[in-house]
Amino acid sequence: MKRLAVELRKPLFWLILFCFLGGVLLHYSEYIFSSQTSVNTFLGLQRHSIERLLFLTIVILADVLYGFGIAMAYLIAAILVMIPRFFLSTPYLADSIYETLAVLLAGIGFNWWFESHRREVGRREQSLLKLDSIRQELESHIETIRENEKRLSVLHSITTAINEFGSLAEILNIAAEKILEVVAADGVLIYLINRSTRVLELKQFRGVSQEFASGVDRLEIGEGFNGWVVQSGKPAFIEDSASDPRLSREVVKKERIGSQFIVPLMAREEVIGTLCILSHSKKKFTMEEEQLLILIGSELGVAMERASLSEEKERVGRRYRELFVRAHDAIWMQDLEGRILAANQAAADLTGYGGEEALGTNVTRFLAPGALELAREVRRKLMSGIEVEQPYEQRVIRKDGTEAIIMLTTSIIMDENGKPIFQHISRDVTRERRLAENLRLYARQITHAHEEERKRIARELHDDSIQALSILSRRVDELISAQSRRSKIIKPLEEVRAEIDNVLARIRLFAQDLRPPTLDYLGLIPAVRELLTQVGQQTGIQADLRIEGEGRHFMPEDELLIYRIIQEALRNVWRHASAKQVHVAIRFNARSATVDVTDDGNGFVIGEDLRFVQAGKIGLAGMQERADLLGGTLSIQSKPGQGTTVNLVVPGERWKTKA
């Protein structure tokens, strides 16, 4: 409706409408005005043909001015106006029909063509508008790319400058200069947090006086603008430093500092310092400058952390080198082929090869043949990621041909090129091992002497005391037989004889405990079986023996040690465990023999360090000493209320012959 109201106010609309109405009047003038108009021709056309062309012209003009819809409306109206003449008297009926059809077809064709042309023009205009929009977007993207290239160029220049220097002071110096080159500011302050005191220390500054730099040094976290940024972990813009309530030091006013933009320096998601850009006048930093400074702060934080780690690495390296040189333990490093890369003085003293002489030498030069096989096995496990029990014992041949025993710890480290090398730390235990062997031999001699003394006492008890008591018992029997049954001394004599028999039985048990003859004549297993029978008879504890595997004999002194361990374990069961059952199992396999003594008694708490002597457990200490003499291992598992298991493992190298 609004568009129609606008069109009605246009003169051209009324002109076309009047022309159309004029054409209608002209087309039917002879009927409207009742006048006989002669048929006129013009340029070979009849008058009504010209009128029909006039209608076609009006339709075309309407199409040009108002579009396809209005033009078609005029065309339909014109056809409706011309059709009635077909039924009026006319000498040119066929021509009228042809001309009307021609006007209809021409009008439709022109309107269709013009509408298609208009739509094509519209599409072109839309395409042009889209192209213009795309052009504007491309220009915007290009401008953004240029700005990003500028920022990346600045970051690259700073990163390159930073990477060229390793020390922290050089990095900060270069960074401060580059920042002032790319940001329109008057000064730069770079703070770092002291890890020990947690205080912000001014490490680098540009564009400010020395007095100002001294005045704003050593800020507490949370103090002033930079301390607040550290506390919050977020960038801050200070438009007027003098009037800001966070101002903490008057030297800022004296220096006439205006605006500041401060960003935190981050490393591993932790604030390690601040980067402060300041201006003596009030300055509004652009978004691009702020983003650029934030990126520079991130890059600078990582660079400073890396430089700090590098310096710390240098300090650790110097300390390690000092420890390496001054260590009392022998330390050397070798490559995968066994060539020595470095060795300290202690290693030279151990092997007899001086520092320069040892470099490049292969370790096979001073490893004993058996030790070489062990070294290869350790290397294979370490390279495969298999855990190796360390330290382990090795044997080396010194330069003078003597043998040394060392306790060795081996680890894999990486060199500067990322290649694995072996690091060995060793301690000479030759003297300790010889002392231990002497002590073991001494302990074995003492044990042997004790057993011989036991054997002698048992023999003397059997040959002397038991024989004497037996004779005394027989004489008492003779006295009883010689007396009359009514004699008053018969009963006392019988009591004496009974007491003598009891003493005689106890002495026999004591002598057997000192040195069981079954062990000497039949071996370990029959002696243990006899021992279990005695335990069952004397204490009422149910005891049994289980043998697994193919039985073997040990050396007589070793069988005696094993018997004493089992005997002490059983003695502890009947004295302390309050057990009802005890089981002894002896298992033989290809590499060792294992003895288990298990009871269902009270159990007890075992200290982790197994210090039996300090705990007053002399019997357990004796069992441990005997296991050491056997070259085996003794372990005890016990918990209160869950019984006790004594486990002894004897290596097969102690075997004598097959049973």
Residues 404 and 507 grouped into a single domain: no
Residues 288 and 368 grouped into a single domain: no
Token duo for residue 308: 């700090």
Domain range for 410: 335-416
Q: Give the gyration radius of the chain's Cα atoms.
A: 58
Residues 609-617 have a mean pLDDT of: 49
- Measured between alpha carbons, how far is residue 315 from residues 166, 171, 203, 320, 462 in Å? 14, 19, 20, 8, 78
Rounded distance, CA 604 to CA 619, Å? 15
Rounded distance, CA 429 to CA 433, Å? 6
Q: Which residue has tokens 């020395």? A: 210
Task: Please indicate, yes or no, if residue 329 is contained in any of the structural domains.
Answer: no
Residues 170 and 309 grouped into a single domain: yes
What pLDDT score was predicted for residue 640?
Answer: 85
Q: Three-state DSSP class for 196?
A: coil
Task: Please indicate, yes or no, if residue 489 is contained in any of the structural domains.
Answer: yes
Residues 309 and 172 grouped into a single domain: yes
Task: Please indicate, yes or no, if residue 152 is contained in any of the structural domains.
Answer: no
At 270-323, the pLDDT tens digits run 888 999 999 988 888 888 778 888 888 877 777 777 777 777 777 776 776 777
**Residue 385's domain is classified under what CATH number?**
3.30.450.20
At 586-599, the pLDDT tens digits run 998 878 888 999 98
What pLDDT score was predicted for residue 189?
Answer: 92
Name beta bridge partners: 304.
Answer: none
**Residue 645's domain is classified under what CATH number?**
3.30.565.10
Residues 656 and 639 grouped into a single domain: yes
Specify the higher pLDDT residue, 79 or 639. 639
Task: Please indicate, yes or no, if residue 355 is contained in any of the structural domains.
Answer: yes
Rounded distance, CA 174 to CA 163, Å? 10
Name beta bridge partners: 593.
Answer: 588, 650
The total of structural domains in the chain comes to: 5
Task: Please indicate, yes or no, if residue 208 is contained in any of the structural domains.
Answer: yes
Task: Please indicate, yes or no, if residue 151 is contained in any of the structural domains.
Answer: no
Residue-averaged pLDDT of the chain: 76
pLDDT score of 430 more than 60: yes
Boundary (domain end) residue, out of 515, 538, 568: 515
Q: Three-state DSSP class for 439?
A: helix
Residues 18 and 113 grouped into a single domain: yes
Residues 506 and 547 grouped into a single domain: no
Rounded distance, CA 241 to CA 255, Å? 11
Residues 44 and 124 grouped into a single domain: yes
Residues 419-423 have a mean pLDDT of: 82
pLDDT score of 329 more than 50: yes
**Residue 266's domain is classified under what CATH number?**
3.30.450.40
Q: What is the helix (H) or strand (E) element at residue 267, kind and residue range?
A: strand 260-267
Q: What is the helix (H) or strand (E) element at residue 599, kind and residue range?
A: strand 592-599
- How does residue 613 score in pLDDT terms, banded at 50, 70 and 90? very low
Token duo for residue 466: 């038991």
Residues 172 and 307 grouped into a single domain: yes
Residues 102 and 200 grouped into a single domain: no
Residue 94 phi, psi dihedral angles, 5° rounding: -65, -40
Residues 171 and 303 grouped into a single domain: yes
At 111-155, the pLDDT tens digits run 788 777 777 877 888 888 888 888 888 888 787 777 667 666 666
What pLDDT score was predicted for residue 386?
Answer: 82
Angle at 114 between CA 42 and CA 20, to 5 degrees: 45
Boundary (domain end) residue, out of 314, 343, 368: 314
Terminal CA-to-CA distance of the chain, rounded, Å?
125
Residues 398 and 451 grouped into a single domain: no
Report pTM. Answer: 0.40
Task: Please indicate, yes or no, if residue 139 is contained in any of the structural domains.
Answer: no
Token duo for residue 461: 């008890």
Boundary (domain end) residue, out of 515, 536, 570: 515
Task: Please indicate, yes or no, if residue 157 is contained in any of the structural domains.
Answer: no
pLDDT score of 388 more than 70: yes
